[in-house]
Amino acid sequence: MTVAAGMCVMWSISDISNAALVLNIDSVNEEFYFTGSDTGTTDAGWFSWSSAGWVSGSEPSVNISTAFALSGGNDVGYADIVFANSGLEISISPLGVIAPTALAVTGAGSGTKFSYASLDASLKNMFESQSSLPLEDGTGFSAISVQAIPEPATFLLFAMGCIGAWLVRRNARSEK
């Protein structure tokens, strides 16, 4: 297998990891969703990731409770993502857990899509420029990776490059 073909196969894999949660951002459709899974322990009954420390609840937020499935004896009680110019925060509270109870849980992204089209331009820009969300509360969880979903034109350009590399290789073999 040529290097170019190997790169085509590697790049076409949509889920970059099953070892951690991945926030997938589709900027063309202005949607996001979570994939992957991670295991850790809640901190006082909840856990969160943030790009800029604590974000107040006065900024726009989206209830993302259906974005996650928890195992460890609990379902998601509430989960939200809060958008602010300073960054964003994702917090998850297991159902029926009352602080200060710590609980070992595995959270898995469900792939449910959410729109962020209603955000103003500065919040959209901040959201789309995220690269990772470090853990703020809880222990054992990895940072959430952020994966931008390439625009269709990017896929087309990449596919054309792969076809071109294949044709060059094929022509080189036939000339021998």
- What local confidence, expressed as pLDDT, does residue 10 receive? 36
113 versus 79: which is more confidently predicted? 113
Q: Is 80 a member of any domain?
A: yes
Give the integer Cα–Cα distance in Å for 25 and 147.
Answer: 6
Q: Is 3 a member of any domain?
A: no
When pLDDT is averaged across residues 65-75 and rounded to a whole number, the result is 74
> Which of 51-55, 76-80, 141-145 has the weakest average pLDDT?
51-55
Q: Is 170 a member of any domain?
A: no
64 versus 86: which is more confidently predicted? 64
Q: In degrees to the nearest 10, what's the CA dihedral of 11, 12, 16, 17?
A: -120
Q: Which two tokens stand for residue 12?
A: 């076409």
Q: Is 108 a member of any domain?
A: yes
Give the amino acid at 60. Answer: P
The HSE-up count of residue 75 (CA atoms within 13 Å, CB side) is 3
Q: Is 24 a member of any domain?
A: yes
When pLDDT is averaged across residues 118-144 and rounded to a whole number, the result is 87
Q: Percent of the chain beyond pLDDT 90?
A: 14
- How many secondary structure helices (H) and strands (E) does the chain include? 3, 13
Number of domains in the chain: 1
Q: Is 117 a member of any domain?
A: yes
Question: pLDDT tens digits, residue range 21-53?
Answer: 899 999 999 999 999 998 888 876 667 777 655
- What local confidence, expressed as pLDDT, does residue 9 receive? 36
Q: Is 101 a member of any domain?
A: yes
Q: Is 30 a member of any domain?
A: yes
Give the integer Cα–Cα distance in Å for 60 and 95.
Answer: 23
When pLDDT is averaged across residues 67-79 and rounded to a whole number, the result is 73
Q: Which two tokens stand for residue 102?
A: 């710590």
Q: Which two tokens stand for residue 31?
A: 């949607």
- What local confidence, expressed as pLDDT, does residue 176 receive? 67
Question: pLDDT tens digits, residue range 148-160?
Answer: 887 666 666 777 7
What is the domain range of residue 108? Answer: 16-150
Cis peptide leading into 100, omega within 30 of 0?
A: yes
- What local confidence, expressed as pLDDT, does residue 36 receive? 92
Contact (CB, 8 A) for 106 and 86: no
Give the integer Cα–Cα distance in Å for 131 and 46.
Answer: 23
Q: For the chain, first and last CA: distance in Å?
A: 19
- What local confidence, expressed as pLDDT, does residue 6 receive? 40
Q: Which two tokens stand for residue 147?
A: 């994966």
